């Protein structure tokens, strides 16, 4: 799985991109907190396992398994960490260590969200590049498009996917056709459109793969359900 370099570079690059598009509202304080949790956060479990094995305490393995998890990490350490990072942001701001456009430290809620985002970012890379592509998550993603023989392209699949894709493109053009609304409103409506179409698309895939017996190819041999859900989770 990726080590410190890829995790830190990917997270910091993403943070800087958000800083650019938000005109600095996503401050260096946000980027640093997000970046630290994208690598060191969930891997605290691995460190605790190594420390436990070194000093001869079996608790390390238990902690490693519990903390090195995209959701358990936030549930177990999210609350204390959000207090710590909020306090640290204030210290950095007062001492001039790290700049911020707003001039105020991160709130506890912001820190909790950044801890969660960092954890999801960490496992986004881990699931893609660990175990030589044979992780449980990656296997499931690929299995949503796996068939023993060549999967047929059913006419109803063409109609449904074609309709949804047309709605997505047409809806985007309709929302952004004229500057009658603010960019923020148009972006918000565009996001709602994407979420609606993505939900209907996933519902179609689920109905064909898991509800129909025997299961049918939702979109030919394409693994659409797995990538949409995985990338949606990582984006959140």
Mean pLDDT of the region 53-77: 70
Q: How confident is the model at residue 152 (pLDDT cuts 50, 70, 90)?
A: confident
Predicted TM-score (pTM) above 0.85: no
The crossing angle, in degrees rounded to 10, of helices 28-39 and 72-94 is 140
Calpha distance 79→33 (Å, rounded) = 14
- Nearest residue to 199 (alpha-carbon basis) of 165, 235, 229, 156: 229
Look at residue 89 in the predicted model and tell me its pLDDT: 93
Render pLDDT for 171-194 as a digit per residue (tens, 0 to 9).
887 887 766 667 777 778 888 898
| 61 has a pLDDT exceeding 60 | no
pLDDT of residue 62: 60
Rounded to a whole number of angstroms, the distance between the first and last alpha carbons of the chain is 21
* Mean of pLDDT over the chain: 81
As a whole number, mean pLDDT of residues 102-123 equals: 91
Measure the CA dihedral 24/29/30/36, to 10°: 140
Q: Above 90 in pLDDT, residue 116?
A: yes
């Amino acid at each position: 799985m990726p080590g410190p370099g890829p995790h830190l570079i990917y997270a910091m690059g993403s943070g800087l991109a958000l800083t650019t598009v938000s005109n600095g509202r996503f401050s260096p304080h946000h980027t640093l907190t997000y970046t630290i949790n994208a690598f060191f956060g969930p891997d605290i479990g691995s460190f605790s396992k190594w420390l436990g094995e070194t000093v001869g305490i079996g608790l390390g393995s238990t902690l490693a398994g519990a903390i090195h998890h995209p959701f358990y990490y936030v549930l177990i350490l999210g609350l204390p960490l959000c207090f710590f990072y909020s306090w640290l942001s204030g210290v950095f701001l007062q001492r001039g260590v790290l700049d911020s456009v707003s001039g105020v430290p991160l709130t506890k809620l912001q820190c909790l969200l950044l801890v969660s985002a960092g954890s999801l970012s960490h496992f986004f890379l881990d699931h893609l590049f660990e175990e030589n592509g044979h992780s449980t998550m990656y296997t499931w993603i690929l299995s949503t498009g796996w068939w023993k023989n060549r999967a047929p392209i059913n006419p109803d699949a063409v109609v449904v996917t074609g309709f949804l894709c047309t709605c997505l493109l047409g809806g985007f053009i309709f929302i952004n056709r004229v500057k009658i609304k603010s960019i923020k409103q148009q972006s918000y409506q565009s996001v709602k459109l994407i979420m609606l179409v993505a939900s209907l698309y996933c519902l179609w895939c689920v109905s064909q793969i898991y509800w129909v017996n025997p299961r049918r190819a939702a979109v030919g041999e394409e693994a659409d359900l797995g990538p949409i859900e995985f990338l949606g989770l990582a984006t959140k």
